[in-house]
Structure 1
Amino acid sequence: MRHAKSDWSAPSLPDHDRALNARGRTAARALGDWMRARGYHPDLALCSTALRTRQTLAGLELDVATRYERQLYNAEPATILSVIKSVQGANCVLVVAHNPGIAWLAQHIVKSRPAHPRFDDYPTGATLVSDFAAPAWSDLTEKSGTVVDFTVPKDL
């Protein structure tokens, strides 16, 4: 999941400290409702330490164990994948991070892309649900996932 829409009204604020705007808070709640309605219940969340990613995760209103990872802040795809590969003991993992890294990873971790018109540009709040046949998170590779679902806040 890419974080929801952030607030740009204070351009002098450090990027790491940018909060969600009203639209982003609404989108986070809608994405959480969408996840619950479809039965997507992660048992671990990996979340960037940036304020907007933490607020997105909180807005989802999920009861989920969370690891806040500084290295997910504006991370390259390889770094995001490395953090995911470090997971042990979780069956379903939610990653809340930033573009362009999260978009590139989403586009390259699945065997085939969903037909959704917004998948390639991966707007704020974009959420990919995919299944992996790998026996452990450490075994994930590019093109190893099967798309289960994909949405963006405007769909909700």
Structure 2
Amino acid sequence: MRLLLLRHAKSDWGDADLADIDRPLNARGKAAAVTMARYLRDQKLQPSMILCSTSQRTRETLARLLPHLPQEVHIELISDLYWKSEEGYGATIRKHGHRAQTLMVIGHNPATEDTALDLVGTSAPETLADIEEKYPTAALAVIDFDISDWSELGSGTGHLERFVKPRDL
């Protein structure tokens, strides 16, 4: 099974009156989300299920991915991906991922980075070091697992196949 961990694209901090959950993407974030959508399409990294935070910026990131997905995908908006973004996403993945062969989670830091670092057992050292240095907005970790259901997910059981940032594309 494959996990695609995508941090939301860059958000707009221009309106100080907006609650954090309501911040939209800025122009750079909108462009980066489309760049990552095209990368996912071109690399055939097609999720069969997407778990997405309920924040405005994650939903806008998701909206920019959808036109580039060639197949129907099951989507769940999950408030815990926002409200528990200081924790890792392992429990949410185990609970909601079911048997999706390729599961995407669109979330926030530090939980996205912490989840990747918790789940990876093997990787190219420089790829793991790249995540440890910084997990920027719209970055994607692709982690493979030898499991048959997401309820079996455990710390250190994944292989970090790649880590991609929009600025590298």
Instruction: Tell me the TM-score range normalised by the shorter chain.
Output: over 0.9
Matches within 5 A, 1:4-153: 4-61=9-66, 62=69, 63-74=72-83, 75-78=85-88, 80-86=89-95, 87-114=97-124, 115-116=126-127, 118-120=130-132, 121-153=134-166
SS at match of 2:10: coil
Q: What residue ranges of structure 1 are gaps of 5+ in the alignment?
A: none
**How many residues were matched structurally?**
155
Q: TM-score, normalising length from structure 2?
A: 0.86
Deviation string, structure 1 residues 19-47 (Cα, Å, up to 9, x no partner) = 00000000000001001111101000000
Q: What stretches of structure 2 of length at least 5 have no aligned partner?
A: 1-5
TM-superposed CA distance for 1:113, in Å, is 4.6
Conservation of the 8 A alpha-carbon contact between 1:2 and 1:102: yes
| 1:39-93 Cα distance to aligned partner (Å, 9 max, x none) | 1010000000000000111111334220000010052334x21111012231110
Task: Specify which structure has the bigger relative contact order, considering alpha-carbon pairs within 8 angstroms and separated by 6 or more residues.
Answer: 2
Q: Is the 8 A contact 1:27 1:153 kept in 2?
A: yes
**Counterpart residue identity of residue 53, structure 2:** S
Aligned amino acid, residue 82 of structure 1: A
Secondary structure, counterpart of 1:119 in structure 2 = helix
Instruction: Give the secondary structure class of the aligned counterpart of 1:77.
Output: coil
Letter in 1 for 2:107: A
For 2:156 and 2:101, the matched residues in 1 are separated by 19
Aligned CA RMSD, in angstroms, stands at: 1.4
Q: Which runs of 4+ in 1 moved over 3 A?
A: none
The CA deviation string for residues 74-124 of structure 1, in whole angstroms up to 9 with x for no partner, is 52334x211110122311100000001111111121113552464121011
